Amino acid sequence: MYGVTHSRGHYQTNAMFPAKLTSQLTLSTLRRIHHGALCSLSNVFLHTEGGRTRDGTSLHSDSSVLQRGLYGQRVLHPSLRPHETRQYGRRSFSLSAATVVNSAPGPVQPYLRLMRLDKPIGTWLLYLPCTWSIALAADPGCLPHLGMLTLFGAGALLMRGAGCTINDMWDKDFDKKVARTATRPIASGEISQRQALVFLGGQLSLALGVLLCLNYYSIALGAASLSLVISYPLMKRITYWPQFVLGLTFNWGALLGWSAVKGFCDWSVCLPLYFSGVMWTLIYDTIYAHQDKEDDMKIGVKSTALRFHEQTKPWLSGFMAAMMSGLVVTGVNAEQTLPYYAVLSTVAVHLTYQIYSLDINRPEDCWKKFSSNKNLGLLLLLGIVAGNLLKERRETLLQNDEAVR
């Protein structure tokens, strides 16, 4: 019996060994095939230039293989979008807005670029005055209303996209003549005027849905800004002050944020805040306009950059003084506390450095200074929130003093 059992056990062991060996060989073979496929894809990258091999033959078939290979990787890892770096072919992962747009399906990308989703700085500059107003309207000792901040964030994204679409529809012929804007979707022909109009209707419909979530006072106030959104792109054709009209448009949230929280506008707070926002826009958008001043002169487009020329810094200094004065009045009328005024001093230093270190003849420096205004706006928001949180403590101390008396 033992011999039979041992014989069967030995037979079973011998039968299992080839199966394991076959499995290992299969896995090894698959690994080698996979490795070889990756090497082949690498060779396609290394031995081609502009879609052709070194001997000049076409690579259409290889391109399709490459696309299938990359598609297979995306199926395995749909949430990862690798981007090749120039250092030894290593892959890095970026979460920038431009990366998100470039990773979107091809037919969708022109629409995302039309609404400037790849350049979110404009959305930030539209959104920040809303956050200031919402934070100022918060009850003493309380943080800003998170739901309102989220709602206004969605609204800013949609309205900035709608504004850019309107702007590009108006400026199609101008954009074709400027190197920086010639690749915009409408100017380059990727999107037709009719397609842009339909897309604009979709954005405005969604923005209306956001607006309808607010109280009636705010709905009427928000609807009143639409005329500014539509007319702003025309201003550069008729006046050297289109940046002023942009300021009126971009800072409407300084009025709307307070009314969305309170149901009305306290004009003693909202108007000086709105005025300060307009002055801020005159600063950063004049800096921005200096990037295109040579092209603007050639095609006949007007801007404050062309109006001020070499006197830009004195003008910007005047706008800064007006902005800071408005913010001080806002703080006094809103009964802000020490942290708010401490941050105001930091904002003033930031603006002073921004203006006096600016080189208006270097487009890259103009862009750098322009982009830094997002941080300035966030800094001011921090000051408003900190100042408001201290209000409760101050009021509590005053109440205790009165009780003691």
pLDDT digits (tens, 9 = 90+) for 206-225: 999 999 999 999 999 999 99
Instruction: Indicate the pLDDT class of residue 350, thresholds 50, 70 and 90.
Output: very high
Question: Residue 400: its pLDDT value, please?
Answer: 62
Structure token pair of residue 244: 């002023």
Q: What is the CATH number of domain 122-392?
A: 1.10.357.140
Place of tokens 């400037």: 116
Structure token pair of residue 101: 């747009």
Structure token pair of residue 403: 């009780």
For residues 386-391, average pLDDT? 94
Quote the Cα angle for 198-201-206, to 5°. 135
Question: Residue 405: its pLDDT value, please?
Answer: 59
In this structure, of 81-85, 197-201, 285-289, 367-371, the range with the lowest mean pLDDT score is 81-85
DSSP collapsed to 3 states, 40-95: HHHHHHHCEECCEECCCCECHHHHHHHHHHHHHHHHHCCCCCCEECCCCCCEECCC
Instruction: Give yes or no for a contact between 258 and 139, defined as CB atoms under 8 angstroms apart.
Output: no
The pLDDT tens digits of the residues spanning 224-241 come to 998 998 889 899 999 999
Sign of the Cα pseudo-torsion (227, 228, 230, 236, in order): positive
Instruction: Indicate the pLDDT class of residue 338, thresholds 50, 70 and 90.
Output: very high
Task: Report the share of the chain in percent with pLDDT over 70.
Answer: 73
Residue 58 DSSP one-character state: B
Has residue 51 got a pLDDT over 70?
A: no
In this structure, of 55-59, 291-295, 345-349, 370-374, the range with the lowest mean pLDDT score is 55-59
Question: Residue 12: its pLDDT value, please?
Answer: 39
Question: Residue 298: its pLDDT value, please?
Answer: 87
In this structure, of 55-69, 88-102, 252-266, the range with the lowest mean pLDDT score is 55-69
DSSP letters along 220-265, please?
HHHHTTHHHHHHHHHHHHH-S-HHHHHHHHHTTHHHHHHHHHHSS-
Instruction: Give yes or no for a contact between 21 and 43, defined as CB atoms under 8 angstroms apart.
Output: no
Question: Residue 124: its pLDDT value, please?
Answer: 97
Question: Residue 295: its pLDDT value, please?
Answer: 87
Question: Residue 173: its pLDDT value, please?
Answer: 87
Position 167, amino acid = N
CA distances to 253, 291, 353 from 122, in Å:
14, 16, 21
Structure token pair of residue 345: 């001093």
Has residue 177 got a pLDDT over 90?
A: no
Q: How far apart are CA 195 and CA 192, in angstroms?
A: 5
The pLDDT tens digits of the residues spanning 124-137 come to 999 999 999 999 99
The pLDDT tens digits of the residues spanning 299-317 come to 889 999 999 999 999 999 9
Instruction: Indicate the pLDDT class of residue 36, thresholds 50, 70 and 90.
Output: very low
Computed on alpha carbons and rounded to an integer, the radius of gyration of the chain in Å comes to: 30
Question: Residue 180: its pLDDT value, please?
Answer: 82
Q: How far apart are CA 41 and CA 351, in angstroms?
A: 51
Instruction: Indicate the pLDDT class of residue 11, thresholds 50, 70 and 90.
Output: very low
Phi, psi of 241 (to 5 degrees): -115, 45
